[in-house]
Amino acid sequence: MKILLISHGFSPDIGGIETHTQTLAQHFVELGHEVKVMTWSLGKNDFFDYDIVRKPSVSTRFKVISWSDWVIENNPTLRLSWPLCFLNKKNIVILQTWLGKEKTGFNWVDYLKKKWLEKASDVIAISKVIQNDVFSSAKIVPNAYNASIFKNLGISRMRDFVFLGRLVSDKGVDMTIQLMELLNQEYNRKFCLTIIGSGPEKNKLMELTAKKGLEDQIVFLGSVKDKRLNEELNRHKFLLVPSRWREPFGIVALEGIASGCIPIVSDDSGLVDAVGEAGITFKRNDLYSLFNEVAQLIDNTSAVDKLQKAAEKHLQSFTGKEIALKTLKVLEGI
């Protein structure tokens, strides 16, 4: 079949949607389908086994959509996909995040996107919370992690905790620093934390680290990716994902599990789906809930072993090939 993937962003841009689009495209090709990607992102097309149509004109949008048998829109991208209103094509929309904002609610664009979902042949939600809160009739197909990069290397885990993500207030990075202070007080020993990522809150977080007197325990590593990121995760025992906002999903948690870390994540979000029985959750936005859950694991080898044993089976549901097959099954059912 001829499959068109529509994605606002794509390589070389970096992000969850960009990565997921690339994963689907590559596995669709490996499964014998013809694939094109249509995107606003500019860049070179030399490294891909499929065509990429970048920043298309209106006529090109019509031409590329007309070429396809199936259209997959990775999150509502109406400026690229609106020609579907005039072309009879089987299409699905993958819901990657919420419609509307937590503080301001729906605006006219969100209402337009909701109508667009209702018009689609079918809708996929990446987690149960997205299905429940945005589009109840959506099929659940999560995002995949890159199993060719993230794996347990079997090396010694000399460091305790790692955070991976954007250094912004929504991600709750400040809670990881406060957690180190609480653990020091409770156990009368020093725990170490590595913060991987960049963002506008970095200086503020470094100031908080200095204020707490934790400079010798906390390392700000900056942005790291691919093989080096996998190696860094393999040096740590626990991955902290204390997001203050309701994450729609959490590929970072899967990357941590695949790298041998125990993920400790905020509840009431898609992170719950991402960790399954291979991680633990705490009450979102609650430092002391985070502390209590971490305390249950410190020096508790039996609890850690149980979580690690659940990892392999859990990860089988999130490989690129498995998610591509599940997505195709939704298409075939239209």
d(CA 22, CA 115): 27
d(CA 270, CA 17): 15
| Residue 174, C-beta contacts closer than 8 angstroms, at least 6 positions apart | 201, 205, 208
Query: Which string of DSSP letters, residue by residue, matches 173-207?
Result: HHHHHHHHHHHHHHHSS---EEEE---TTHHHHHH
What is the reported pLDDT for 294? Answer: 97
d(CA 245, CA 253): 15
Give the pLDDT of the chain (334 residues) as one tens digit per residue.
999 999 999 998 878 899 899 999 999 999 999 999 999 999 988 889 999 999 999 999 999 999 999 999 999 999 999 999 999 999 999 999 999 765 566 788 889 999 999 999 999 999 999 999 999 999 999 999 999 999 999 999 999 999 999 999 999 999 999 999 999 999 989 999 999 999 999 999 999 999 999 999 999 999 998 999 999 999 999 999 999 999 999 999 999 999 999 999 999 999 999 999 999 999 999 999 999 999 999 999 999 999 999 999 999 999 999 999 999 999 999 8
Domains of the chain: 2-144+319-333 (3.40.50.2000), 159-317 (3.40.50.2000)
d(CA 197, CA 251): 15
| Residue 241, C-beta contacts closer than 8 angstroms, at least 6 positions apart | 163, 164, 165, 247, 250, 252, 253, 256, 263, 264, 265, 266, 271
Q: Is 243 within 8 Å of 270 (Cβ atoms)?
A: no
- Angstrom CA distances, 246 to 86, 98, 132, 219, stand at 36, 9, 13, 26
| Residue 273, C-beta contacts closer than 8 angstroms, at least 6 positions apart | 127, 128, 129, 142, 249, 250
Q: What is the pTM of this model?
A: 0.91
